[in-house]
Amino acid sequence: MMGPIMVKLVTIGARQPDSEIPGARFDEGPYRGHALAPMSARFWKLVKRGGPDECWEWVGFRHKKSGYGSWSPRHDERWGAHRVAWVLANGRLPDGMVCHHCDNKPCCNPAHLYDGTAKTNAQDAKERGRLGGRSRGELNPAAKLTAAHVVQMRAAHAAGVGSRVLARQYGIGRSTTKRILRGLKWKHVEAVA
Protein backbone atom coordinates (compact mmCIF):
# COMPACT_ATOMS: atom_id res chain seq x y z
CA MET A 1 0.00 0.00 0.00
CA MET A 2 1.34 3.42 -0.92
CA GLY A 3 1.43 6.45 1.33
CA PRO A 4 -1.06 9.29 1.20
CA ILE A 5 -1.57 11.18 -2.05
CA MET A 6 -0.11 14.66 -2.03
CA VAL A 7 -2.62 17.47 -2.44
CA LYS A 8 -2.34 21.14 -3.19
CA LEU A 9 -5.25 23.14 -1.87
CA VAL A 10 -5.98 26.62 -3.07
CA THR A 11 -6.91 27.75 0.45
CA ILE A 12 -3.74 26.43 2.07
CA GLY A 13 -1.31 26.82 -0.80
CA ALA A 14 1.17 24.22 0.49
CA ARG A 15 1.88 20.67 -0.57
CA GLN A 16 1.52 18.25 2.30
CA PRO A 17 -0.12 14.86 2.82
CA ASP A 18 -3.90 15.12 3.01
CA SER A 19 -3.86 13.37 6.39
CA GLU A 20 -1.87 16.32 7.79
CA ILE A 21 -4.46 18.94 6.84
CA PRO A 22 -7.06 18.38 9.56
CA GLY A 23 -9.48 21.21 8.77
CA ALA A 24 -8.85 21.60 5.05
CA ARG A 25 -11.90 21.97 2.85
CA PHE A 26 -12.37 22.38 -0.88
CA ASP A 27 -13.36 25.88 -1.84
CA GLU A 28 -14.60 25.37 -5.42
CA GLY A 29 -17.01 23.33 -7.49
CA PRO A 30 -19.27 20.52 -6.29
CA TYR A 31 -16.66 19.56 -3.68
CA ARG A 32 -16.96 22.97 -1.97
CA GLY A 33 -17.23 22.70 1.78
CA HIS A 34 -16.30 19.02 1.95
CA ALA A 35 -13.54 18.21 4.41
CA LEU A 36 -10.62 16.75 2.48
CA ALA A 37 -9.17 14.22 4.93
CA PRO A 38 -12.31 12.19 5.78
CA MET A 39 -13.45 12.27 2.16
CA SER A 40 -10.02 11.17 0.98
CA ALA A 41 -9.79 8.28 3.43
CA ARG A 42 -13.26 6.98 2.46
CA PHE A 43 -12.50 7.33 -1.23
CA TRP A 44 -9.08 5.61 -1.30
CA LYS A 45 -10.48 2.60 0.61
CA LEU A 46 -12.36 1.78 -2.60
CA VAL A 47 -9.27 1.93 -4.82
CA LYS A 48 -6.98 -1.07 -5.29
CA ARG A 49 -3.66 0.76 -5.42
CA GLY A 50 -0.59 -0.64 -7.12
CA GLY A 51 2.75 0.76 -8.19
CA PRO A 52 3.10 4.31 -9.51
CA ASP A 53 2.91 3.16 -13.15
CA GLU A 54 0.12 0.60 -12.66
CA CYS A 55 -3.60 1.22 -12.96
CA TRP A 56 -5.31 1.71 -9.62
CA GLU A 57 -8.63 -0.08 -10.05
CA TRP A 58 -11.83 1.37 -8.61
CA VAL A 59 -13.50 -1.49 -6.69
CA GLY A 60 -16.64 0.43 -5.76
CA PHE A 61 -19.77 0.90 -7.86
CA ARG A 62 -19.29 1.01 -11.65
CA HIS A 63 -21.81 2.10 -14.25
CA LYS A 64 -22.81 -0.93 -16.32
CA LYS A 65 -22.96 0.93 -19.63
CA SER A 66 -19.99 3.29 -19.36
CA GLY A 67 -17.67 1.23 -17.15
CA TYR A 68 -16.63 4.31 -15.15
CA GLY A 69 -16.43 4.17 -11.37
CA SER A 70 -18.91 6.24 -9.39
CA TRP A 71 -18.64 7.49 -5.82
CA SER A 72 -21.08 9.13 -3.41
CA PRO A 73 -19.62 11.33 -0.70
CA ARG A 74 -23.19 11.97 0.44
CA HIS A 75 -26.46 10.19 -0.29
CA ASP A 76 -27.63 12.87 -2.74
CA GLU A 77 -24.49 13.14 -4.89
CA ARG A 78 -22.62 10.92 -7.37
CA TRP A 79 -19.24 11.79 -8.82
CA GLY A 80 -17.04 9.99 -11.31
CA ALA A 81 -14.34 8.14 -9.35
CA HIS A 82 -11.57 9.29 -11.69
CA ARG A 83 -12.69 12.92 -11.25
CA VAL A 84 -12.53 12.58 -7.47
CA ALA A 85 -9.04 11.05 -7.76
CA TRP A 86 -8.00 14.04 -9.88
CA VAL A 87 -9.35 16.53 -7.35
CA LEU A 88 -7.74 14.75 -4.39
CA ALA A 89 -4.39 14.73 -6.20
CA ASN A 90 -4.55 18.27 -7.62
CA GLY A 91 -6.71 20.14 -5.12
CA ARG A 92 -8.94 21.58 -7.81
CA LEU A 93 -11.40 20.67 -10.50
CA PRO A 94 -9.91 20.32 -13.97
CA ASP A 95 -10.34 23.12 -16.48
CA GLY A 96 -11.90 20.66 -18.93
CA MET A 97 -12.65 17.00 -18.42
CA VAL A 98 -10.61 14.32 -16.66
CA CYS A 99 -9.25 11.91 -19.28
CA HIS A 100 -7.29 8.66 -18.98
CA HIS A 101 -3.85 8.05 -20.53
CA CYS A 102 -4.30 4.33 -19.83
CA ASP A 103 -7.70 3.68 -21.50
CA ASN A 104 -8.86 1.91 -18.32
CA LYS A 105 -12.14 3.56 -17.28
CA PRO A 106 -12.09 2.39 -13.63
CA CYS A 107 -8.45 3.57 -13.16
CA CYS A 108 -8.00 6.17 -10.42
CA ASN A 109 -4.20 6.55 -10.51
CA PRO A 110 -3.64 10.33 -10.69
CA ALA A 111 -0.54 9.71 -12.82
CA HIS A 112 -2.80 8.18 -15.50
CA LEU A 113 -5.24 11.11 -15.56
CA TYR A 114 -4.96 14.40 -17.40
CA ASP A 115 -6.94 17.60 -17.79
CA GLY A 116 -8.34 17.45 -21.31
CA THR A 117 -11.12 18.76 -23.48
CA ALA A 118 -13.80 16.97 -25.47
CA LYS A 119 -11.66 17.57 -28.56
CA THR A 120 -8.45 16.12 -27.09
CA ASN A 121 -10.41 13.18 -25.68
CA ALA A 122 -11.92 12.43 -29.11
CA GLN A 123 -8.53 12.77 -30.81
CA ASP A 124 -6.99 10.44 -28.24
CA ALA A 125 -9.80 7.91 -28.77
CA LYS A 126 -9.32 8.06 -32.54
CA GLU A 127 -5.54 7.60 -32.29
CA ARG A 128 -6.02 4.54 -30.08
CA GLY A 129 -8.61 2.99 -32.38
CA ARG A 130 -11.58 3.43 -30.05
CA LEU A 131 -13.57 5.39 -32.62
CA GLY A 132 -14.50 4.51 -36.16
CA GLY A 133 -12.41 1.72 -37.64
CA ARG A 134 -12.27 -0.80 -34.83
CA SER A 135 -15.96 -1.65 -34.64
CA ARG A 136 -16.75 -1.20 -38.32
CA GLY A 137 -18.31 -3.98 -40.36
CA GLU A 138 -17.63 -7.56 -39.36
CA LEU A 139 -15.13 -6.40 -36.71
CA ASN A 140 -18.13 -5.21 -34.73
CA PRO A 141 -19.02 -7.97 -32.25
CA ALA A 142 -22.73 -7.39 -32.92
CA ALA A 143 -22.39 -7.75 -36.72
CA LYS A 144 -24.76 -10.24 -38.33
CA LEU A 145 -23.16 -9.91 -41.77
CA THR A 146 -19.74 -10.21 -43.33
CA ALA A 147 -18.36 -8.14 -46.20
CA ALA A 148 -19.01 -11.12 -48.49
CA HIS A 149 -22.69 -11.14 -47.46
CA VAL A 150 -22.97 -7.43 -48.28
CA VAL A 151 -21.45 -7.96 -51.75
CA GLN A 152 -23.86 -10.89 -52.35
CA MET A 153 -26.85 -8.82 -51.16
CA ARG A 154 -26.00 -5.94 -53.46
CA ALA A 155 -25.45 -8.28 -56.41
CA ALA A 156 -28.77 -10.03 -55.76
CA HIS A 157 -30.56 -6.70 -55.49
CA ALA A 158 -28.98 -5.53 -58.76
CA ALA A 159 -30.32 -8.76 -60.31
CA GLY A 160 -33.86 -7.89 -59.14
CA VAL A 161 -34.24 -9.52 -55.70
CA GLY A 162 -36.30 -7.29 -53.40
CA SER A 163 -35.17 -5.85 -50.07
CA ARG A 164 -37.88 -7.74 -48.15
CA VAL A 165 -36.60 -11.10 -49.44
CA LEU A 166 -32.98 -10.15 -48.74
CA ALA A 167 -33.82 -8.97 -45.21
CA ARG A 168 -35.52 -12.28 -44.44
CA GLN A 169 -32.73 -14.31 -46.05
CA TYR A 170 -29.96 -12.61 -44.04
CA GLY A 171 -31.94 -12.22 -40.80
CA ILE A 172 -31.76 -8.44 -40.59
CA GLY A 173 -34.34 -5.67 -40.61
CA ARG A 174 -35.75 -4.31 -43.83
CA SER A 175 -34.67 -0.72 -43.11
CA THR A 176 -31.11 -1.93 -42.41
CA THR A 177 -31.20 -3.89 -45.67
CA LYS A 178 -32.29 -0.79 -47.59
CA ARG A 179 -29.50 1.27 -46.01
CA ILE A 180 -26.95 -1.37 -46.99
CA LEU A 181 -28.28 -1.50 -50.56
CA ARG A 182 -28.14 2.30 -50.86
CA GLY A 183 -24.58 2.35 -49.53
CA LEU A 184 -25.48 4.18 -46.33
CA LYS A 185 -24.29 1.23 -44.20
CA TRP A 186 -21.24 -0.90 -44.87
CA LYS A 187 -19.84 2.02 -46.90
CA HIS A 188 -16.38 0.52 -46.75
CA VAL A 189 -17.49 -2.47 -48.86
CA GLU A 190 -17.29 -1.78 -52.59
CA ALA A 191 -20.65 -1.63 -54.32
CA VAL A 192 -21.29 -4.03 -57.17
CA ALA A 193 -21.11 -2.12 -60.45
- Smallest CA-to-CA distance from 34 within 80, 87, 83, 70 is with 87
Residues in the chain with pLDDT < 70? 1-37, 131-135, 191-193
Could you give the number of structural domains in the chain?
Answer: 2
Pick from 42, 114, 97: which is nearest to 71 by CA? 42
Domain that holds residue 172: 135-182
Q: Is residue 192 part of a domain?
A: no
On whether both 12 and 100 belong to a single domain, the answer is yes
115 forms beta bridges with 98
Element (H, E) at 40: helix 36-44
Query: What does the pLDDT look like over 69-99, one tens digit per residue?
Result: 998 877 777 889 999 999 888 888 888 899 9
3-state DSSP assignment of residue 127: helix
Regarding whether 79 and 38 lie in a shared domain, the answer is yes
Shared-domain flag, residues 89 and 156: no
Q: Are residues 71 and 144 in the same domain?
A: no
- The torsion region of residue 43 among left (phi > 0), alpha (psi -120 to 50) and beta comes to alpha
Are 142 and 163 contained in the same domain? Answer: yes
What are the pLDDT digits (tens) for 32-46?
666 655 778 888 999
Residue type, 89: A
3-class DSSP assignment, residue 29? helix
Cβ(81)–Cβ(106) under 8 Å?
yes
Tell me: do 84 and 37 sit in the same domain.
yes
Residues 80, 158 within the same domain: no
CATH number at residue 97: 3.90.75
The DSSP line for 165-180 is: HHHHHHT--HHHHHHH
